[in-house]
Amino acid sequence: MAEQTASNKPVVATISLAGCFGCHMSLLDIDDRIVQFIDLFELNKSPVNDIKKFTKRAHVGLVEGGCCNDENVKVLRYFRENCDVLVSVGACAGNGGLPALRNKMPLQECLVEAYLDAPTAELGKAIIPYDEELPKLLDRVYPCHEVVKIDYYMPGCPPSAEVFWDTLTSVIKGQGFDLPVELIKYD
């Protein structure tokens, strides 16, 4: 378990990998409960507060988006190492989502279409961008659980603010909760 903080609040971290930040927007959609959120939780590494590196171990990590490049993988592993409980949030983290549409075709074809044969590409000068600072694309987009162990999933595109709120508050109460029927009804 993470070491207890001075304020004794559960520590939460969030990240967006190959996602659209929609899940984060949905998290912020808890409206005025954001004030309660600050009372109840301590937010560590997250795009919301722009903390780049974990300063302490987190109780809960929320991961939005799957892995489309090597940097995503490294960040996800970094989260896994630093969070007690890791939650895969939304369709992209859980299934690859929209970015995984490219999985049906070879990576090289995608790159050629996007950078070399694109209507805006300058004839004869276009290249596939590469720099050691740029992440390398993976052969396909992976859902998070194919890269690291995932403890829980929050389905939805995005999961609603209510689902975020219920998930986080149940965590501090140490209890489970039932997913709304709409999220798990298929027929």
Partner 1 sequence: MVRMKNQIQSIAEKYSNDRTRLMDIFWDIQDLHGYIPHKALRVLEESLDISTADLRETLSFYHFFHESPSGKFNIYLNKDVASQLKGHEAIYAAFETECNCKFGSVCMDGTFGLFETPCIGLSDQEPAALINLVPFTNLTPQKVKDIVAALRAGKELAALVEQYGYGDGANQQIKTMVCSNIRQLGPVFGEKISTGEGLAQSLKSTPEQVIEEVKTAGLRGRGGAGFGTGMKWSFCRAAKGSTKYVVCNADEGEPGTFKDRIVMTEYPEQLFEGMAIAGYAIGAQQGILYLRAEYKYMQDYLEGKLKDLRAKNILGQNVLGKSGFNFDIRIQFGAGAYVCGEESALIESMEGKRGTPRVKPPFPVEVGYLGCPTVINNVETLAALPYILKNGGSWYKGFGTEKTPGTKLLSVSGDCEKPGVYEIEFGMTVREFLAMVGAKDAYAVQVSGPSGECINAQQSLDRKLCHEDLSAGGSMIIFNKDRDLLKYMRYFMTFFVEESCGICVPCRAGNIVMRNNLDKIRAGHANQEDLDNIFAWGQIVADTSRCGLGATSRNPIVSSFKNFPDLYKKLLDEKTNPLYDASFNLEASVEDFDRALKEQNQIGRNVHA
Residue numbers at the binding site for partner 1 (CB under 8 A):
70, 73, 77, 80-81, 106-108, 111-112, 116, 127-131, 136-140, 142, 145-149, 186-187
- Counting beta carbons within 10 angstroms of the beta carbon of residue 154, is it exposed (0 to 12), middle (13 to 18) or buried (19 or more)? buried
Residue whose tokens read 């009804």: 185
Rg, Å, the chain Cα set: 18
User: Which of 129, 174 has the CB closer to partner 1?
Assistant: 129
User: Which of 8, 120 has the CB closer to partner 1?
Assistant: 120
User: Which of 52, 149 has the CB closer to partner 1?
Assistant: 149
Beta strand 58-64 with 11-16: parallel, antiparallel or unpaired? parallel
Backbone torsions φ then ψ of 54, nearest 5 degrees: -60, 130
Output the DSSP codes for 159-179. Answer: PPHHHHHHHHHHHHHT---PP
Write down the least CB distance from residue 30 to partner 1, Å.
28
Write down the least CB distance from residue 27 to partner 1, Å.
24
Write down the least CB distance from residue 2 to partner 1, Å.
15
User: Which of 59, 140 has the CB closer to partner 1?
Assistant: 140
